[in-house]
């Protein structure tokens, strides 16, 4: 709803559409006649726009992008057009966020003021869109084109101070924002400062003749259209129009480009990701449960993963005690923590006092008894069931009875781990992804007896650590690794059939992954794959002994400078994979021993389909089995945990994009040509969109 009141000839228009005052079609239909009425009222000298609930507005309602507006519907474009026609002095009084369409509304005003805590941003690029209500045309008329491009392409969140320094705001106020807005409107009543009447600007000292060069450089700095840069290139085109065309024509160009993007596959995929992430906590029965407070945490293991988890707790303001019996490992962990916080101070991300506070909140001990008063303890030791059962038995004996015990295992049975304790309802999996203090994904794994309060507490703790939390049932590999194993299988099978690892990786990188499967194996470690394969025969291996051979040769990957690739520390970062023909020869030798025929003409299409459709099929099976709650959950796991390109929406959305029927029929062909391991999920044989399963 919209609330209005008058103060001495100033009409105050308050957006009141909780929780974030979105500028939905419905709200715009209400706002438009209010503006038109005020503009026609001789008693009104100025209009002040503000927002309720300590927020100006979160911008447009993303749900509205999925429907085509009819002539009767009113959008933020209609609202801003009415503002543009108005002869009243318009003031945006911003408290809190002014994002997207709300930022555009503010730019359509004559004056803009904000409180110190306010932020302004154009986040549309993250949805595969561009500001579509004049933002690409007005912003380059208040800051130069290069700065405007940076702000929009990077979705930069401007603080009020930054916006003031850039001339976007006229004032930053300490007091009550509406009072300040009314005071400004009263002082400036009768004044118009339409940005549409200004010229767009290139950087000082750069002539208009340089526009083609500026634009071409901008195009070169963003990804290609087919690899995630579609919206970025359209945005650059829109900003170019702001300089090259009169305002009304530039606005028309922006409108056309926006409408193209709304219907594009990348934007639809990114909007799916947006909504899927917001569905994650919608778990039956969870919303009614009050989580326990986590005032103190514990971590078992001071290795790379345990140290990262400890940092994640410290960054969330939760003191943490790490149990690590090896003095040398404690020193390495402390150096890691010190170095990480020192780096953040150097980069200006933390001040020295806050960095010191966080570092000091991580304590080390050799005694389990020091975890007695912990509310949540996360185990991060070697991936062995015997080791983990021993750890949980010790924790059960010392941690207070209300304490929750979590395992960071990536594959092992949570129920079996819980059986080593007398508190199975308070045991679950919390699978962090390395590096744990940086990677956003957290798989929360529910055992048969895990209580809803334990789940609620884990989700609350994850949220406090700024993690994207996804619920998984208890199955080998959970969601992410269970799907990964089938993806890895096909990559290795292809190499056994004579496709060089570098070519498999090139196809997957071209699709949009940050690295291909073999580079990923080298990053995580061939020794890790070897241990998993021996604990669970048939997993992480092909039909040959290739992993055994690499393990025997101590080619463990990046950590040893050789795995499926070689790595040269004297070249760049030392982490770039270098093709190793000896490994290709090793694949050929092992394939000959196993009787695997070599194939000369495997297409890029087959490489892509075999790897991606293996992911899709495994994901569909997890949905069938109830391990994953929603297809969108699986998409989020793969985007945040494994680098699946978000502009393809995740593996399950991608299946919809290419057609589930096509995926199913291709898998049936693979079963016939390649073997029974390509048994399709029953879910793929049905009708409808898989990503909505």
Catalytic positions, please?
104, 124
Spell out a b/e string for 128-147, using b for 16 or more CB atoms within 10 Å of the CB, else e: bbbbbbbbbbbbbbbbbbbb
The residues facing 298 across adjacent strands are 321, 377
How far is residue 255 from each of residues 131, 260, 349, 619, measured CA to CA in Å? Answer: 9, 9, 37, 38
Distance CA 296, CA 522 (A): 36
Distance CA 156, CA 397 (A): 49
At 473 the three-state DSSP class reads strand
At 566 the three-state DSSP class reads strand
DSSP state of 93: E
Distance CA 511, CA 252 (A): 33
Write the CB contacts of 298 (distance below 8 Å, at least 6 apart in sequence). Answer: 320, 321, 322, 323, 371, 374, 376, 377, 378, 399
Distance CA 324, CA 332 (A): 11
If you count them, how many residues does the chain have?
693
Distance CA 576, CA 267 (A): 31
Pairing outcome for strands 158-159 and 2-7: unpaired
Distance CA 513, CA 510 (A): 7
Nearest to 157 by CA among 125, 109, 190, 191: 125
Distance CA 181, CA 91 (A): 7
In the numeric block, the tokens 């992911």 are attached to 615
CB-count exposure of residue 457 (10 Å: 0-12, 13-18, 19+): buried
At 34 the three-state DSSP class reads helix
CB-count exposure of residue 593 (10 Å: 0-12, 13-18, 19+): exposed
The residues facing 469 across adjacent strands are 442
Alpha carbon 99 to chain centroid distance?
Answer: 18
CA-based R_g, the chain, Å: 28
Distance CA 627, CA 621 (A): 9
The phi and psi torsions of 53 (rounded to 5 degrees) equal 65, 30
Distance CA 154, CA 166 (A): 16
Alpha carbon 88 to chain centroid distance?
Answer: 42
> Residue 285 — left, alpha, or beta (φ > 0 → left; ψ -120 to 50 → alpha)?
left
């Amino acid at each position: 709803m919209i609330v209005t009141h008058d103060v001495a000839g100033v009409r105050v228009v308050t957006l009141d559409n909780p929780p974030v005052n979105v500028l939905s079609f419905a709200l715009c239909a209400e706002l438009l006649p209010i503006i038109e009425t005020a503009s026609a009222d001789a008693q009104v000298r100025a209009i002040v726009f503000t927002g309720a609930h300590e927020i100006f507005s979160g911008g447009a309602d993303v749900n509205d992008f999925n429907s085509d507006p009819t002539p009767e519907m009113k959008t933020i474009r209609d609202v801003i057009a009415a503002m543009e026609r108005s002869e009243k002095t318009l003031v945006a009084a911003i408290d809190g966020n002014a994002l997207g369409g709300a930022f555009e509304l503010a730019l359509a005003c004559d004056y803009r003021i904000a409180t110190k805590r306010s932020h302004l941003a154009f986040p549309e690029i993250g949805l595969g869109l561009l500001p579509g209500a004049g933002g690409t045309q007005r912003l380059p008329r208040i800051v130069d084109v290069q700065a405007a491009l940076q702000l929009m392409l990077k979705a930069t969140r401007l603080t009020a101070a930054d916006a003031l320094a850039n001339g976007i705001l006229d004032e930053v106020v300490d007091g009550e924002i509406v009072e300040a807005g009314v005071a400004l409107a009263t002082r400036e009543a009768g004044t118009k400062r339409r940005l549409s009447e200004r010229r767009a600007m290139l950087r000082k000292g750069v002539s208009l003749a340089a526009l083609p060069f500026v634009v071409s450089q901008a195009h070169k700095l963003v990804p290609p259209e087919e690899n995630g840069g579609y919206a970025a290139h359209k945005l650059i085109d829109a900003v170019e129009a702001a300089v090259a065309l009169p305002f009304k024509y530039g606005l028309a160009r922006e409108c056309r480009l926006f409408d193209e993007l709304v219907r594009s596959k990348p934007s639809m995929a990114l909007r799916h990701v947006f909504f899927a992430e917001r569905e994650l906590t919608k778990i039956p029965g969870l919303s009614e449960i009050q989580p326990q407070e986590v005032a103190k945490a514990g971590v078992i293991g001071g290795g790379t993963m345990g140290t990262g988890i400890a940092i994640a707790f410290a960054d969330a303001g939760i003191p943490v005690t790490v149990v690590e019996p090896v003095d040398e490992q404690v020193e390495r962990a402390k150096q890691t923590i010190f170095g990480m916080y020192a780096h953040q101070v150097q980069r200006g991300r933390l001040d020295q006092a806050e960095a010191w506070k966080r570092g000091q909140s991580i304590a080390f001990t050799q005694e389990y008894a020091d975890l007695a008063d912990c509310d949540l303890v996360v185990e991060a030791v070697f991936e062995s069931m015997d080791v983990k059962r021993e750890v949980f038995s010790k924790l059960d004996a010392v941690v207070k009875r209300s304490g929750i015990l979590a395992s960071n295992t990536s594959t092992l049975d949570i129920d079996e781990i819980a059986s080593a304790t007398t508190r199975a309802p308070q045991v679950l999996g919390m699978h962090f992804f390395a590096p744990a203090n940086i990677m956003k994904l957290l798989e929360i794994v529910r055992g048969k007896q895990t209580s809803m309060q334990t789940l609620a507490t884990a989700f609350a703790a994850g949220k406090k650590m700024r993690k994207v939390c996804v619920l998984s049932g208890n199955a080998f590999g959970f969601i992410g690794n269970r799907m990964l194993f089938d993806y890895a299988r096909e990559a290795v099978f292809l190499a056994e059939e004579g496709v060089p690892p570098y070519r498999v990786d090139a196809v997957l990188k071209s699709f949009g992954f940050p690295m291909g499967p073999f580079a990923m194996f080298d990053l995580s470690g061939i020794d890790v794959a070897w241990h998993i394969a021996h604990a669970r025969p048939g997993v992480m291996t092909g039909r040959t002994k290739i992993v055994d051979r690499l393990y025997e040769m101590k080619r463990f990957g990046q950590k040893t400078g050789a795995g499926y690739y070689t790595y040269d520390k004297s070249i760049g970062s030392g982490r770039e994979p270098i093709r190793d023909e000896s490994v290709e020869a090793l694949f050929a030798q092992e394939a000959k021993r196993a009787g695997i025929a070599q194939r000369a003409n495997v297409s890029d299409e087959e490489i892509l389909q075999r790897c991606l459709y293996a992911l899709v099929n495994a994901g569909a099976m997890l949905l069938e089995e109830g391990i994953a709650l929603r297809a969108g959950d699986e998409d989020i796991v793969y985007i945040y945990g494994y680098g699946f390109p978000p502009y393809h929406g995740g593996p399950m959305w991608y299946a919809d994009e290419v057609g589930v029927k096509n995926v199913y029929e291709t898998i049936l062909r693979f079963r016939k040509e390649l073997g029974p391991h390509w048994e399709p999920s029953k879910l793929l044989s049905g009708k409808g969109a898989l990503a909505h399963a």
